[in-house]
Every structure is written in structure tokens, then in C-alpha cells.
Chains A and B, each alone.
Chain A
Amino acid sequence: MTENRPGYYGRFGGRYVPETLMAALDELDAAYRRYATDPEFTAELDDLFHHYSGRPTPLYFAERFSRELGKGRIYLKREDLNHTGAHKINNALGQILLAKRMGKKRIIAETGAGQHGVAAATVAAKFGLSCTVYMGEVDIARQSLNVFRMRLLGAEVVPVRSGSRTLKDATNEAMRDWVATVDDSYYLIGSVVGPHPYPMMVRNFQAVIGRETRAQLMQAADKLPDYVVACVGGGSNSMGIFHEFVAEPAVQLVGVEAAGEGLETEHHAATLSKGEPGVLHGALSYLLSDSDGQVLEAYSISAGLDYPGVGPEHSFLKDSGRVNYQAVTDGEALAAFDYLTKTEGIIPALESSHAVAMGMKLAPTLTEGQIMVINLSGRGDKDIHTVAQSMGVVL
């Protein structure tokens, strides 16, 4: 709906890729357009959402958390209860069905936190396709549990040693692989980034989050939310929950980036707050870059938010003012992680903890009867080592 011409969100988006991939993107776009409205395809996806991933995920009223923080009612959209532990599976299931119908034999994916890598490896195992996951060496070190999970699932995990050795470089390497294997490989991108049609397609597969949220809240409270809060790495869980509400002006949408050690330092991943428009990984969007246009290393304690780019639709929604983008620090996210764990018995992913932290800041401003939904994009099991380390605990 915010697309003015296919693949563009205002001036953002597009297809800035090597020519070799242009025909493949056209093929993908045609396949997606054909199957997106195909009843058999959507029925198969709905069935997988339900029986394989456990959808609909609950919209949980966090009563104690709400009560201690203010007058409003705070709900958590429990994407952490999905199979594999995060929202990433929604998109992976959608794309693998497409890959199968396109006759592809092999899946390529990039991953940061490893959540998307695990989701891609999972669906590849289920559908019997081979799977290669590119992952930066730095991320491999801090997400060893997910690396092992991917390998158990039969995926090949390829360490990426170039550049900052994180998600950005893993994405470069995945694109290089795809350029060479484009005939029979399918590039399963993990967020609303990359060249058209990926940002649109991934958003649409994730939009189930927002659709369910609206229906569940109508049932529980008979009203729309006053606030919807979600963390923004590449931007897929946030686009997934925002999309349903973009055309509802009464709903305030808040995207939360990682401020790392602080926006005033060089160590953050706050692309929308601190970046400038630029081109990375096939799209024009906000980007963290230096005075020469060299892409900077992002930093966040959370591997899934540690990315110097962001999806082009978010750039549009920032410039249009429809979404309010904020950033919270590592310290605030860790405090929120701890607080939610202790008040509700729910251990959130560090990525999601950024949204929780923002929710905690907004909560005291809520009035009686106001409702805030926080998208809990994933569970924190994968982050236990990182959190222990931040507390000086050796496991």
C-alpha cells in the first residue's frame, strides 16, 4: 500500500544488483505474484502455519508487567512461541513453498543471530532441499548454539571472514553464491531487505503477525491498539506487525533500533536514527556509512539487530512520519530482558528485549484503558550465553 510503483517505497527500494540476477528476480517476482493469490498455495501455507509452527501465536495480556509499569494494558504478541523460537519461520515457510513450486533444488541463506539460518535449515530439512547458510565468524562465535542447531538440521554453515565478519558480510557472500548458482538455487532472504520483490514478499509473509493481532485484540478488548512496538534489525517482525495498522491513523507505531553503547558513540546499529540514504544489498534505503559511502560496521549486543542497513519500506515510513523510530541501548535491553523474565516468567530474545525496553519507557504515559502491543519476536534461549557474559557469569 505504501508502494508507489512496484518495488519502490517513495524513493526507496529498487533493484541494485549485478545483471546476472535481474532475470532471476523477474522469475521470482512472477512466481510470487502467481502464487500469492493461489488458493492451494495459501491453504498449504496456512496449514503449515497452524500445524507445523503453532499459529496463531497467543496475544498474551502481561498483567503484572502492565500493572507495575502504569495504567495501561500491555499485550505481548508471542512470536517466541513459534516453532524454532522466532518469527523468522513465517517467512521461511512462505519462501520454501515458493522455491519448491519454482523447481529449485537448493536453498541459500544468510544469518546474523542464527534465527533465520535455523528457520531456513528447518524448512529445507522438512522439504528435502539442500541448504547452505552464510554466517559471519563473529556471529558464529556468539551464537554457537544456533550454529550447532543448523548443522543438526543438515545445513552447511559457511563461516564468512570478510569485512566485519557479521550479517552484512554474510549477505554479500550469499549474493555471490546466488550469482553463480542462480539456475537451481533459491536465495531465501531473512528480512524485508534486498532487491524487489524481497521486501514486499517477506513483509507479506510476516503480515500474519499483524492480522492475528488485530483479530485477537478485537476479541479481547474490542478495540485497536493505541501503540504497537517492535524491534527493527532488517525490519521483518516490525513490518509484519505494522503492515496491518499502517492505514489506521489512531494506532501509534513505534520501531525500536539498537543504540548499542549509545547513539552518541560509534557503536550502535541505529540505521534509521543515524544513517543516510544509500545502497546496500540491492536496495536504496537508510544506511550507516562513512563520508566516502563505505558501509560501516554496526554494533549491538544483539546479533539479530547488528546490521548497518534496514528494509526500504521502513525508510519510507520514517520519512513520511507514519512510524516513530527510537533506539535503546544494550544496557536498557538487558534491563528489560531481566524485568520481563522476572515479572512474567518469559525470557525474551535480546532483539525483542529492545522492544520491551521501549514499551517500558512508554508504559507510564498510558492512560486507563489504553492498550499497547509489544511484538515479542523471539525467545531468549539462544542469548543465555551472551547475557551470562554481560553479568560476568561463566557458564
Chain B
Amino acid sequence: MNQVAARYESLRRDRRKALIPYLMGGDPGLRETADLLTVLSEAGADLIEVGVPFSDPVADGPIIQAAGQRALNNGCTVAKLLATLKEVLPGLGTPVILMAYYNTLYHRGIERFMAEARESGVAGLIIPDLPPEEAGDLRHYASEYEIGLNFLVAPTSPAERIRQAAEASTGFLYAVSLKGVTGVRNQLPAGIPDFIARIKTQTSKPVGVGFGISTLEQARSIGQLADGVIVGSAIVQAIAEDSSFQKVTAAVRNLKEGLAG
């Protein structure tokens, strides 16, 4: 079993929900990424999502776009990011999932990417622009290298597509909470409970909910319905606002409290 699925299983046994903060790899620099992985892990992250900076991030809003641009401007490359992860992940104790756009993998070669990710200790992958029907090769190599795949479902996905995404997911199913790109939202859509219930009728795999979530209350209400909460822009913003990382530590603790009940 891949590390993502294993972590969800152990959380389930403990009747706990996964808190999954997101940070942009190489933002502001790779040194900080290495430090932040430890900071997030110690603050209570159950899994950590690491963005691979890409020139054309169509699923991302302004906060994560800017973070990716900073990382690229500061010289982050896939090879350097994977090298940093390789140093940190063995001692981390928290599984790391890469969030990469498909061209990053395609250009490198799917098999090579999987082999390198595995070598660096990466546990799973999220590819926001890759629907399951285009993922043939990827599924093959992910299974060979024991990388957990986490496909996305959206409020617009019909039952058939939800089933298909769940079937292809070997880690968790990533439910996009809203129609739109990543970013902090004051108000989440009223339809979330129905949406998650709809997903749960199609699969027994763990469901993580992301996009727009930033507050303790939001984490609490999602935690009552789903198996995990992914928090991106709010974390990226907290990192950008305070280089001593106290702000991001506080943010993770706060969300953790929301998830505790």
C-alpha cells in the first residue's frame, strides 16, 4: 500500500481527519521549503502537499500563481526540488504529495518522473489538469513505483465521472469544493454537504476536500463530512507574510483545532 492510503487508513482507525496544508516548492527558496516541511509537520500536518512551480497554472488563483512565479524566479527546477525533498523526507514522518501540472511530468517522461519521485520519498501525486481518461500511462507507472494517485472531482462531475475518478485513485479522492480556481474564500458553497454525500454514494475511498478553505470553522464543517481538508492559498499567504514561520504555524494549529471537533 502507498503511504497516502496508509496514512488515511491509520487516521480512520483513530477516528481522525487529515489536515493537508499546501506549500509551493521553492517559494521563496528551496532552503525555506526544507525548513517549512518540518515546521508544518511539527505543527500537526497529517500529509503535506508540495506544489511544483509551473509557468501556466490554470487551476490556480492569484496567491498560488504568485508563489509559483517567485519560485521560478528564484531558480527552482524539478530536479532541485526533488533533491531537496530527498534530503528532508526520510526523516519527516509526514507523507508528501506533489501537486504538478501534467506538462511537468509529460516533458520529463512519465516513468522517469515516477522513478525520481519515488527515489525522493514522494508518497503521492495530484495533477489538476489530468482527468482519469488521459491517465493511462501514468496509472501504470504510479502503481509500479507505489506513488498514490489522487484524482479530482468537481461539483460539476456527474456520478459516472465520480466513480471513474474514485476507481483510478489509489490514495484519496480530491473533491474540489467549488467551481473556480484556488484561493481564499469567505464563504464556501452551500452545496458542499450534498456534493460530499453524492461522492460517498459512489465510493468508500477517503475523500479530501480542497479549494477555498482557510478558517477553523470551515475546516470543522468540512471535517464533519469528509476524511481530509486541504488548505492551500491561506497557508501560502501565511508563509509569504512572515518569514519566521510563526504565522503559518499558528494557522496550521488553528485548522487542526477545527478538525479536532
Q: Which residues of A contact B (CB under 8 A)?
A: 14-24, 162-163, 168-169, 172, 175-176, 179-183, 276-282, 284, 287, 289, 292-295
Contacts and interface: CB of A to CB of B under 8 A. Distances in A.
Interface of B: 54-59, 61, 65, 69, 72, 77-79, 101-104, 106-108, 128-131, 133-134, 151-158, 161, 165, 176, 179-181
Ranked nearest first, the 8 interchain pairs of A and B with the lowest CB-CB distance are A293-B107, A180-B180, A20-B154, A294-B55, A23-B156, A279-B103, A19-B152, A19-B154
Contact of B56 (A20, A181, A292, A295): A295
A176 B61 contact: yes
Contacts of A292: 77-79, 104, 107-108
Nearest to B104: A293
Contacts of B59: 18, 176, 179
Contacts of A282: 129
A168 B179 CA distance: 22
Contact of A179 (B57, B158, B181): B181
B107 A172 contact: no
Contact of A279 (B129, B154, B176): B129
B161 A23 contact: yes
Contact of A16 (B61, B104, B134, B156): B134
A130 B104 CA distance: 36
B58 A172 contact: yes
A17 B131 contact: yes
Q: Which of A169, A276, A278 has the most CB atoms of chain B within a 10 A radius of its CB?
A: A278
Main SS at interface, chain B: loop
B181 A295 contact: no
B131 to A, nearest CB: 6
A281 B59 CA distance: 11
A22 B161 contact: yes
A181 B72 CA distance: 29
A175 B161 contact: no
22 contacts: A15-B133, A16-B129, A16-B130, A16-B134, A19-B156, A20-B155, A23-B158, A24-B156, A162-B69, A175-B58, A179-B59, A180-B180, A180-B181, A279-B129, A282-B129, A289-B103, A292-B108, A293-B54, A293-B103, A295-B55, A295-B56, A295-B103
B102 A179 contact: no
Given A179-B181, A293-B78, 11 more contacts: A15-B133, A20-B155, A23-B158, A163-B56, A168-B56, A172-B56, A180-B181, A182-B179, A284-B106, A292-B78, A292-B108
Contacts of A20: 154-156, 176, 179-180
A19 B56 contact: no
Contact of A289 (B107, B155, B165, B179): B107
Given A172-B58, A287-B103, A180 B156 contact: no
A162 B107 contact: no
A284 B129 CA distance: 12
A1 B159 CA distance: 32
Contacts of A294: 54-55, 72
